[in-house]
């Protein structure tokens, strides 16, 4: 299976835990958003808490996508934790 590195932008409290970007090696055929989040939890323990609380929104190529969306190598990926405030 061929793989390629993809940079994932972390926003909000996710960036607080691990910095604004992490690089992951993805299979060429891609993977769904929940699998990406699972890999991030495993490889970056500092993200464990932030990724476990609330619903994480993913953007692929600057478009908010549903969880079923497939992230492919070369995509621009950003993850957003839930935001609260008034």
| 85 in any annotated domain | no
22 lies in a domain?
yes
Instruction: Tell me, yes or no, whether 86 lies in a domain.
Output: no
Distance of CA 1 to the CA centre of its chain: 21
Stated pTM of the model = 0.87
The enclosing domain of 61 has a CATH number of 3.10.20.30
Give Cα separations from 11 to 27, 29, 31, 32, 79 (angstroms).
24, 25, 20, 19, 6
Q: Mind listing the pLDDT tens digit of every residue in the chain (86 residues)?
A: 566 789 999 999 999 988 999 999 889 899 999 999 999 999 999 999 888 876 899 999 999 999 999 999 889 999 999 876 54
Q: How many domains does the chain have?
A: 1
């Amino acid at each position: 299976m061929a793989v390629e590195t993809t940079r994932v932008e972390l926003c909000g409290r996710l960036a607080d835990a691990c910095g604004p970007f992490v690089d992951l090696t993805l299979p060429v055929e891609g993977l769904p958003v929940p699998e990406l989040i699972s890999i991030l939890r495993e490889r970056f323990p500092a993200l464990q808490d932030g990724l476990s609380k609330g619903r994480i929104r993913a953007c692929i190529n600057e478009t908010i996508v549903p969880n079923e969306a497939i992230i492919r190598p070369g995509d621009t990926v950003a993850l957003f934790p839930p935001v609260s405030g008034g």
